[in-house]
Structure 1
Amino acid sequence: MRKLIMICLFFITGYTLNAQTNAIEAKAAYLLAEESYGKGDYKKTLEFLSQVREALGNTNCKILYLQIMATRELHAKDSANNDILPLILQFEKSPDYPNFNEEKALEISKLKLLVKSEQKAITDKQAELTLAREKRRDSLAKARTQAHKDAFINTVTLKGQFNITLDELDKANPKWKVKKWVADKVSPTVELYHNTAYSFDTAEFPFPTIPSMKGSHNPFTILGVYVKDGKVTGYQVLQAYSTYIYEGSLPIYNINVGLPVSLANIYSTSLLLDPIITPFTINGATANRYLWTEGKYGFMIEEMHYLKGGGGIVKIVETKFYNPTEKETALYHPSEK
């Protein structure tokens, strides 16, 4: 019996010591969180608050208040941030909320109303833009004639024929010698035959990453040919590859960043057809896709840009494609299944 009592006392003592240690660690982490907040390091504030919650095994209004304020400051330039309201709801449902500092509770309530107002303004603006786009699309559709549709197809087929074999393509363009190009498997059914002057990094596909010194990378040259099930489905063209990274080249970089928009506007005006624009990231860099489709034909401009050195790098490729399934989607790409 005495042995059993000693064992129980041992576990109770261990549990108490562990709880005391956790409480001390939580207090220390909270103090560091407050210090970080005072220094304007909101990311660090949230990291320390995470340690507080981990040490305590729960949270409370005091912790949530600082978490809300730090999150708000961290995303001060992002009115659309959706992290705040769930935190405020958790704050208001916390068991200690009725006894929490009234002034701070009122501050959080005001913040909730402000965030809701900001998000409503964003939603209203998005609805307004959507309506404007729909009206413009309808207006363009009414103004389009068969001549515009023919011009679209001519634009797409300018670089070469579709739905032909590589043998037929080489016969039509004997100087290309596409069958001797490097063939990369980009999907189970699609291969990209690309000029040996270019190479592709998977992380930055479909953009070339290392232009070979053996070949030219002048704009408007054929980068590659997409082949699906033995038939040509797309032609990739290099529109721009600028590497202005020397000191003072930022203005040139900024001009090149704007090229895709200018090119898209030219196409939209001449064809009376607006593109579907899809923003995405390539290996952490900003990128955009502009897609136009007309029945089984389509083309897209894809661009990526990022700062480097005293300027930055801009890559722009254009793909003309034939889509036998008429899969009209912003995510369509010749390399997809």
Structure 2
Amino acid sequence: MEPKKQISKAASTNDEGQAQQYDYHIPVMLLETVDGLNVQPNGVYVDCTFGGGGHSREILKRLGPNGKLFAFDQDPDAKRNLPNDERIVFVPHNFRYISRFLKLHKVDTVDGVMADLGVSSHQFDEPERGFSTRFDGPLDMRMDPSSAKTAASVLQTFSEQQLHKLFEQYGEVTNSRTLAATIAAQRKTNPLQTIAQLKQAIQAVVKGNPNKYFAQVFQALRIEVNDELLVLKELLEQLPEVLKPGGRASIISFHSLEDRLVKNFFKQGSLEEEAYNPFSTGERTKVFKLITKKPIEPSPEEQKQNPRSRSARLRVAEKL
């Protein structure tokens, strides 16, 4: 997900200034995601991950003068991409608080919620944010720069066992136990404050393709720093409450851990695994209708124009 940044052909045909937004972050599966919302002109919608504003601008195009869009983003850099449009309300907070902030704006239910999970191109391309293995920079990885936990603090304070579980579960690193032991030994004499220091410290235990290996390590650290899976779970659990009947959720994920959560929640309407009961004759009440039976993937053309989109998977469901 970290090749060169480029502007897609679609940028040249959109509203003035759109190319600049796409330079910040190219919206993945733009039309597919917004089409999935089935935007109604007078509807109320939520973009949980505003970023460069690409998806939000497409939603605004389809809204009438009485429509409303709430855009969440905890990264203060995103606010400068806001369009001059009175129909949009920017919420500078994590989307895990979606219900709370909608209620603050006297909105109980909405017609659609979309989320483009993961890291924006802008965050990847800023060395000081510490998200990319391509640059040297601080081991930061915070999507919200005001939060306390950084990748460096995780590496310094987690026990060897915690690091093992972190890399095994969040990064699916094959030799996670060896990696954790190496970090625990190296940090006694190595500060592990920068990307270069970490890569050098674990170079001897890298297995397979180094780029893929470091990407898995960085994914695990980033998920932990930003509490990404718990945040996604909290969003999913609020969807039945915030969506109107007939309202839709359109969610893009970038790795199997996220996609599995979205898939199972849309199918079951709950994060709880349904225990098998051989004597039960009833079925759990369905909460969602699946609009996408299988995840939508970016077209070959989009993957070529925006290689970061390759791992993206889009799922859409409708509240019953």
TM-score by length of 2: 0.21
State the structure with more CA Rg: 1
Higher normalized strand content (fraction of residues): 1
